């Protein structure tokens, strides 16, 4: 099967049997299906390197079918799933169980993280084909952390010394969180979330991990960086990679009054000063990529009081439109979006054959229309959670076609194929 995309910003692009075979200029391809992309922008399919698709264990919030359909809507062709499912992906058996689920149901390509607990080093060494090892330094959804900071330091040291893989961390200092929980225990307003999990909570854990990576020579990646303090620290350690989420770019503490626990997430939303530092770090290349931390929770759960509402916000459907809208608003260039959402994650995790529109690369392609304006509505949400914190925002710039492995999967906000994705190779 041959397809040629005609007249995009780079000219034509030809792919055959799931692989890009020619890029640019005017391509004459007899027998190929022609798709007119006049006035459209074509880019590599988005790689969302941080999602929680909840399966196995919490299919009422999301599963590989619903999560991957949501991804397609957002122009996302590859997702990397985190290990805080139920059971957690911390044994070889759980890894194979998730692999089978994703392989059977996912409409996008996928990679799986393995959780590092401090007690499963031997299994980590034997785990094949994983994205990397995820370490939760602080308590978060689906993840209890009873260990001391000393235990955490030992765990990270063992990983840095014993694996070549990327060690991705959720950097929040559990001892500080516990202290702050005591201070605010009689308060029940969502605003306290950003005080309990203060910028120092993130910075403190981030700094410990960075110093250990330096000392023991590990591949450290810091997930969902949210503070100016972390950005300043990481600017001194260019070998440490990091990601930023859309919700930390588009919300601040002033949004609690409107959205309450719907923007309760770990790490929490921050001040405008922090947000400005994140945007600057996106532009100057300090941030390796944007990932959504797509963390669907049900509305009924979010409507509970502060202490009982789970942390996490969904994002896989709207990350690309949010970034494209930012291009239209002059905050970023289109090349920044491609670097931050396609090339960046491919480079950090060493993904084979993805992230670039190059000959020989997989035909994971997203076609975007920079002139479509649409209001984000809860009714349009494909994720099982059925809501989005971005509802009410009008965004200009949307994906109009998503190809996975050369197959047109989404067109004009309709899923048009039931094809399945493949596990990524590193
Ligand atoms: C995530 C979740 O719900 O799985 N929640 C969150 O607040 N970000 C877990 C995580 O990434 O910390
Ligand atoms: Zn996290
Ligand atoms: Zn997460
Ligand atoms: Zn399906």
**Is residue 406 included in any domain, yes or no?**
no
Statement to judge: residues 8 and 93 lie in one domain? no
Per the domain annotation, does 223 fall within a domain?
A: yes
Give the C-alpha distances (Å, rounded to integers) separating 180 from 186, 256, 257, 278, 384: 12, 19, 21, 25, 33
Q: Which atom of ligand 1 is nearest to the CA of 265?
A: 7
Instruction: Output the ligand 1 site: residues, CB below 6 A.
Output: 52, 84, 140-142, 170, 265-266, 293, 295, 311-312
Quickly list DSSP for 309-364: SPP----TTTHHHHHHHHHHTTSS-HHHHHIIIIIHHHHHHT-TT-SS--TTSB--
Distance between Cα 111 and ligand 2 center (Å): 17
CB 2 within 8 A of CB 33: yes
From edge to edge, which strands make up the β-sheet containing 41-44? 41-44, 365-375, 394-404, 407-411, 414-415
140 and 258 co-located in one domain: yes
pLDDT at 76: 99
Is residue 201 a contact partner of residue 165, using CB atoms and an 8 Å limit? no
CA of 300 to the centre of ligand 4 (A): 26
Residues of the chain with pLDDT under 50: none
| Most ligand 1 atoms within 8 A of CB, residue of 265, 309, 315, 389 to mutate | 265
Co-location of 108 and 25 in the same domain = no
Give the closest residue (by CA) to ligand 1 atom 9: 141
Tokens of 415: 């899923």
Residue 366 within a domain: no
Q: What is the side-by-side order of every strand in the sheet holding 166-170?
A: 114-115, 133-136, 166-170, 219-222, 241-244, 289-290
**In ligand 1, which atom is closest to the CA atom of 311?**
7
Q: Is 23 in the same domain as 87?
A: no
Residue 30 and residue 145 in one domain: no
- Ramachandran bin of 54, using left for φ above 0, alpha for ψ from -120 to 50, beta for the remaining angles: left
H/E run at residue 14: strand 11-16
Same domain for 289 and 307, yes or no, is: yes
Percent of residues, the chain, with pLDDT higher than 70:
100
Most distant CA pair in the chain, distance: 71
User: 267 CA to middle of ligand 2, Å?
Assistant: 7
- DSSP element (H, E) containing 82: none
Same structural domain, 10 and 127: no
pLDDT of residue 142: 87
User: Do both 28 and 112 map to the same domain?
Assistant: no
CB 312 within 8 A of CB 297: yes
Domain coverage including residue 319: 45-357+372-396
How does pLDDT run across 233-255, given as a tens digit for each residue?
999 999 999 999 999 999 999 99
Ligand 3 centroid, distance to 123 Cα (angstroms):
22
User: Structurally, how many domains does the chain consist of?
Assistant: 2
Ligand nearest the Cα of residue 113 is 3
Tokens (6 digits) for 299: 């509305």
Residue 424, C-beta contacts closer than 8 angstroms, at least 6 positions apart = 78, 80, 109, 110, 111, 131, 351, 352, 354
Indicate which CATH number applies to the domain containing 348: 3.20.20.140
133 and 12: one domain?
no
Mark out the alpha helices in 55-198 (DSSP H runs).
64-73, 92-105, 121-126, 149-162, 174-183, 192-196
Rounded to the nearest angstrom, the distance between the alpha carbon of 190 and the centre of ligand 3 is: 19
Kindly report, residue by residue over 336-346, the tens digit of the pLDDT.
999 999 999 99
Let me know how long the chain is.
Answer: 426
What is the DSSP pairing of strand 19-23 with strand 46-51? unpaired
Beta strands at 2-8 and 11-16: parallel, antiparallel or unpaired: antiparallel
**Is residue 197 in a domain?**
yes
Q: Which atom of ligand 1 is nearest to the CA of 170?
A: 12
Angstrom distances, CA of residue 117 to CA of 56, 78, 91, 222, 287? 19, 26, 10, 17, 27
Whether residue 142 is found in the same domain as residue 20: no
Atom from ligand 1 closest to the CA of residue 54: 4
* pLDDT 10s digits, 353-368: 999 999 999 999 999 9
Instruction: Please report the pLDDT score of residue 144 as a whole number.
Output: 86
Instruction: For residue 421, give the ligand nearest its CA.
Output: 4
pLDDT at position 148 = 87
Within a domain: 362: no
Ligand 1 atom with minimal separation from the 223 CA: 11
Q: Which residues are catalytic?
A: 293
Domain membership of residue 414 (yes or no) is no
* Residue 157 is assigned to a structural domain of this protein: yes
What is the reported pLDDT for 309? Answer: 98
In the three-class reduction of DSSP (H, G, I as helix; E, B as strand; rest coil), residue 271 is classed as coil
Give the count of beta carbons closer than 10 Å to the beta carbon of residue 78: 29
Does the residue 201 lie in any domain? yes
CB 113 within 8 A of CB 51: no
Which residue's CA lies nearest to atom 5 of ligand 1? 312
Q: Are residues 123 and 255 both part of a single domain?
A: yes
Instruction: Return the best residue to mutate from 56, 244, 266 for the ligand 1 pocket (most ligand atoms within 8 A of CB).
Output: 266
- In this structure, the residue with its CA closest to atom 6 of ligand 1 is 312
Domain check: are 167 and 302 in the same one?
Answer: yes
pLDDT tens-digit readout, 70-107: 999 999 999 999 999 999 999 999 999 999 999 999 99
Tell me the best of 49, 50, 51, 52 to mutate to test the pocket of ligand 1, counting ligand atoms within 8 Å of each CB and taking the most: 52
Alpha carbons 313 and 339: distance in angstroms, whole number: 24
């Amino acid at each position: 099967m041959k397809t040629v995309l005609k007249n995009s910003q780079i000219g034509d692009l030809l792919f055959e049997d799931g692989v890009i075979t020619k890029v640019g200029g005017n391509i004459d391809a007899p027998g190929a299906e022609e798709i007119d992309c006049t006035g459209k922008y074509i880019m590599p399919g988005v790689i969302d390197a941080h999602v929680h698709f909840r399966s196995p264990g919490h299919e009422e919030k999301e599963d590989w079918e619903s999560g991957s359909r949501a991804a397609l809507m957002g122009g996302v062709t590859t997702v990397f799933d985190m290990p805080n499912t139920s059971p957690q992906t911390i044994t070889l058996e759980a890894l194979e169980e998730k692999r089978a689920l994703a392989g059977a149901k996912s409409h996008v390509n996928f990679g799986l993280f393995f959780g590092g607990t401090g007690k499963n080093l031997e299994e980590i060494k034997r785990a094949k084909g994983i994205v990397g090892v995820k370490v939760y330094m602080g308590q978060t959804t689906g993840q209890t952390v009873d260990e001391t900071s000393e235990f955490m330091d030992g765990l990270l040291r063992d990983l840095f010394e014993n694996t070549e893989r990327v060690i991705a961390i959720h950097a929040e200092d559990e001892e500080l969180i516990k202290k702050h929980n005591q201070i605010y225990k009689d308060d029940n307003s969502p605003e306290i979330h950003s005080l309990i999990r203060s910028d120092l909570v993130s910075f403190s854990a981030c700094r410990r991990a960075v110093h250990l990576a330096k000392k023991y020579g590990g591949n450290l990646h810091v997930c969902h960086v949210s503070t100016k303090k972390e950005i300043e620290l990481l600017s001194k350690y260019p070998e440490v990679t990091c990601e930023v989420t859309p919700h930390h770019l588009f919300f601040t503490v002033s949004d609690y009054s409107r959205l309450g626990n719907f923007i309760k997430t770990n790490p929490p939303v921050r001040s405008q000063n922090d947000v400005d530092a994140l945007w600057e770090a996106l532009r100057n290349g300090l941030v390796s990529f944007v990932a959504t931390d797509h963390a669907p929770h049900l509305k009924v759960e979010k409507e509970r009081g502060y202490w009982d509402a789970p942390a996490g916000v969904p994002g896989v459907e709207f990350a690309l439109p949010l970034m494209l809208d930012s291009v239209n608003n002059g905050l970023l260039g289109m090349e920044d979006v491609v670097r931050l959402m396609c090339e960046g994650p491919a480079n950090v995790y060493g993904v084979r054959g993805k992230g670039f529109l190059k000959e020989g690369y997989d035909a994971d392609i997203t076609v975007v229309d920079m002139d479509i304006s649409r209001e984000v509505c809860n009714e349009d949400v494909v994720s099982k959670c059925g809501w989005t914190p971005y509802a009410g925002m009008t965004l200009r710039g949307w994906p109009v076609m998503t190809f996975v492995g050369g197959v047109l999967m989404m067109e004009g906000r309709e899923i048009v194929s039931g094809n399945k994705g493949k596990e990524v190779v590193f």
